[in-house]
C-alpha cells in the first residue's frame, strides 16, 4: 500500500476524479515495475506554467516553464529511521497541467494520458534515475518509461 497525495493549485485545466485515478495508477505501476515493495508516500502538486516556471527558476536556475519537476527526498539507501509512520517519503512531483495539455494536443492524446506519462517519468526520478547524466542513463530511463507506459495502458484498458 502506498500513499499518493494529489493537490491542485491551478485553475486553467479541469482536475477530475479520472485524472486523480490516472496519477495514482501511473505512480503505482512505476513502483510495481521497479519492484519497489516498501510502503511509500509521494506528493503530487498540479500547477500551471507560471507556477512551474517559478519553481524551475528557484530550484534549477532555469527561468522557463517545463512540464514536470521531481523533488526526491532520499539519495540512495535508506533505513527504518527514514520512515514516517511506517511509510518511506519518496518525494514530490510537480506537474504543469497547462503544459501537459499543450503536449497532449501536440501528441494527439488526452491530458490524462500525458499526466500519467509525466508521473511515470517523475517517479523514476524519485527512485534515483536521471536521464541527464549520460546517454546510457538516458536510454535506460526512457526504456523503462516506455515499458511502464505500455503496462499502464494495458492496465487502463481493463
Give residue-wise pLDDT tens across range 25-58: 999 999 999 999 889 999 999 999 999 999 999 9
Instruction: List Cα–Cα distances, 25 to 33, 119, 155, 156, in angstroms.
Output: 12, 9, 9, 9
C-alpha cell at 64: 522557463
Alpha-carbon gap, residue 22 to 143, rounded angstroms: 21
pLDDT tens by residue, 107-154: 999 999 999 999 999 999 999 999 989 999 999 999 999 999 998 887
- Domains located in the chain, CATH noted: 3-157 (3.40.390.30)
Tell how strand 40-47 and strand 88-96 pair up: parallel
Q: Give the span between the Cα atoms of 36 and 33, in whole angstroms.
A: 8
Q: Residues 99, 52: contact at Cβ < 8 Å? A: yes
Predicted local confidence at residue 82, as pLDDT: 86
Report field, pTM of the whole predicted structure over 0.85: yes
Amino acid at each position: 500500500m502506498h500513499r499518493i497525495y494529489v493537490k491542485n493549485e491551478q485553475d486553467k485545466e479541469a482536475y477530475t476524479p479520472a485524472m486523480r485515478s490516472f496519477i495514482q495508477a501511473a505512480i503505482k505501476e512505476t513502483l510495481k515495475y521497479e519492484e519497489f515493495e516498501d510502503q511509500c508516500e509521494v506528493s503530487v502538486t498540479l500547477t500551471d506554467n507560471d507556477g512551474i516556471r517559478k519553481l524551475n527558476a528557484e530550484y534549477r536556475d532555469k527561468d522557463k516553464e517545463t512540464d514536470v519537476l521531481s523533488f526526491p527526498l532520499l539519495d540512495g539507501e535508506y533505513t527504518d529511521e527514514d520512515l514516517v509512520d511506517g511509510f518511506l517519503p519518496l518525494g514530490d512531483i510537480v506537474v504543469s497541467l497547462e503544459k501537459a495539455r499543450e503536449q497532449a494536443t501536440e501528441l494527439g492524446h488526452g491530458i490524462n494520458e500525458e499526466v500519467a506519462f509525466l508521473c511515470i517519468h517523475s517517479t523514476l526520478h524519485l527512485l534515483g534515475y536521471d536521464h541527464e547524466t549520460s546517454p546510457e542513463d538516458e536510454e535506460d530511463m526512457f526504456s523503462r518509461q516506455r515499458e511502464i507506459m505500455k503496462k499502464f495502458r494495458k492496465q487502463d484498458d481493463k
